[in-house]
Amino acid sequence: MQEFLQSGKGVICLVLAGIFALCLIVQLFYYLFFYLRLAFHKPKINNTDYFPVSVVICARDEAENLENFLPSVLEQDYPEFEVVVVNDCSEDETEDVLKRLANKYPKLRFTTIKKDEKFVHGKKLALTIGIKSALHEVVLFTDADCYMSGNQWIKEVVQNYSPSTEIVLGYGGYEKRKGFLNKFIRFDTFFIGMQYLAFAKAGLPYMGVGRNMSYKKSLFFKNKGFASHARLDSGDDDLFVNETASKRNTNIVFSSNSVTWSVPKTKLSSWVRQKRRHRTTFKRYRMNHRLLLAFEPLSRVFFYVSFAALLSLNFFPVYLLIAFLVRLLTQLLVYYFAGIRLQEKDLFLYSPLFDIVFILTGLIIVFSRKHRNLYAWR
């Protein structure tokens, strides 16, 4: 054995074993220190003072979605709230749908931005108008293609406001449909949601999603809105949170009644474009957030590569397999219990496959040729 370890092959095996051990430790750190917090998270009611809330939704050509999904927001079981919809240059029947719904639901107010060929704008302008129009200090956001998991959504969010809270982050998933692509997109969304919610619970909030988040109007104006990234198409949710969120002022809402559901993409190309657009904001995250987010997939890559290399060299295969199984069982445990909380428990069995697949898709998204037309309003 000593002669083997001193040989060229032995040195290579020792180096690979060191890489494997280090990556295993890093991976277990992420799962046990961050993600496990959500797997066994116990919802805590910080507030029972159900203060007024404004729900803000921006819509562009969303007539069908508003017809189908807006009632799930308007029929929330909550003492006092309003729903403000900003109709942003829609060319379909959006305004007619809103007028009809406003006659039925007194809590609904809407405003319309007229199309101007000389002035092209994105969602951030519509959101700013919606926030300024909101009558109440606490503003809750979702999208026109979202519906709520129940009529307790607003109440669940508000219960997570403490005296120091200015931001509450929730989970926005995609509805379950048939096919592998649906599971692929849902798992990606689930993992990202688990990640940003776990980081926030650990005192490192770095992003939220506009499908399900809340903050105070005063925080928005104190931050001068989206001024620092107004020219970017994306960032109305994640960059705003990255700039303003802290351990002290941020809470999460993490329960089955607090989830919002959206209509998923049906084409892989549409999902890839969306992912690449979202990546344009990453370089503006705080440095510690970027490092933490980069180390996890990087350690995953080297974990699998070093494992495969050591296994091919027949270097203590029994111990290698034990170490691999420890990580796998930890991963499955976390995904299972977190999935139950977020009504995504069917995804945990796919986690070993997607754990590898998303390494490859991530590399494709990062290194693929950039296209000019990445803009999408949402």
pLDDT averages per 10-residue partition of the chain, 378 residues: 62 93 97 90 79 97 96 97 96 96 97 81 93 98 95 96 96 94 94 96 96 98 94 91 97 92 88 81 94 95 96 93 97 93 89 90 70 50
Where do we find the tokens 């220190």?
33
Q: What is the pLDDT of residue 311?
A: 95
* Enclosing H/E stretch for 364: helix 351-367
The last residue of a domain, from among 220, 253, 282: 282
Same domain, 99 and 204: yes
Q: Determine, yes or no, domain membership for 350.
A: yes
The last residue of a domain, from among 264, 282, 300: 282
Same domain, 92 and 148: yes
Q: Determine, yes or no, domain membership for 18.
A: yes
Q: How far apart are CA 220 and CA 132, in angstroms?
A: 10
Where do we find the tokens 């509450």?
168
Q: Determine, yes or no, domain membership for 48.
A: no
Which of 214, 75, 72, 49 shows the shortest CA–CA distance to 139? 214
* Enclosing H/E stretch for 23: helix 8-29
Between strands 138-141 and 250-252, the pairing is unpaired
Same domain, 232 and 336: no
Same domain, 274 and 332: no
Q: What is the pLDDT of residue 117?
A: 67
Q: Determine, yes or no, domain membership for 47.
A: no
Q: What is the pLDDT of residue 2?
A: 54
Q: Which residues contact 285 (CB under 8 A, 6 or more apart)?
A: 206, 207, 238, 239, 242, 293
Q: How far apart are CA 152 and CA 213, in angstroms?
A: 15
Same domain, 159 and 191: yes
Same domain, 292 and 340: yes
Asked if 18 and 309 touch (Cβ cutoff 8 Å), the reply is no
Q: Determine, yes or no, domain membership for 375.
A: no
Q: How far apart are CA 69 and CA 364, in angstroms?
A: 34
Q: Which residues are registered as beta bridge partners of 54?
A: 82, 139
Which of 194, 160, 184 shows the shortest CA–CA distance to 275? 184
pTM of the full structure: 0.92
Q: Length of the chain in residues, anyone?
A: 378
Q: Determine, yes or no, domain membership for 96.
A: yes
Q: Determine, yes or no, domain membership for 189.
A: yes
Q: What is the pLDDT of residue 360?
A: 83
Residue 113: CATH number of its domain: 3.90.550.10
Q: How far apart are CA 370 and CA 119, in angstroms?
A: 26
Dihedral sign from CA coordinates of 64, 177, 198, 227: negative
Please give the single-letter amino acid code of residue 54: S
Q: How far apart are CA 83 and CA 362, in angstroms?
A: 37
Q: What is the pLDDT of residue 302?
A: 96
Q: Determine, yes or no, domain membership for 46.
A: no
Q: What is the pLDDT of residue 163?
A: 93
Same domain, 210 and 324: no
Domain count, the chain: 2
Residue 328: domain span: 2-40+288-367
The last residue of a domain, from among 238, 261, 282: 282
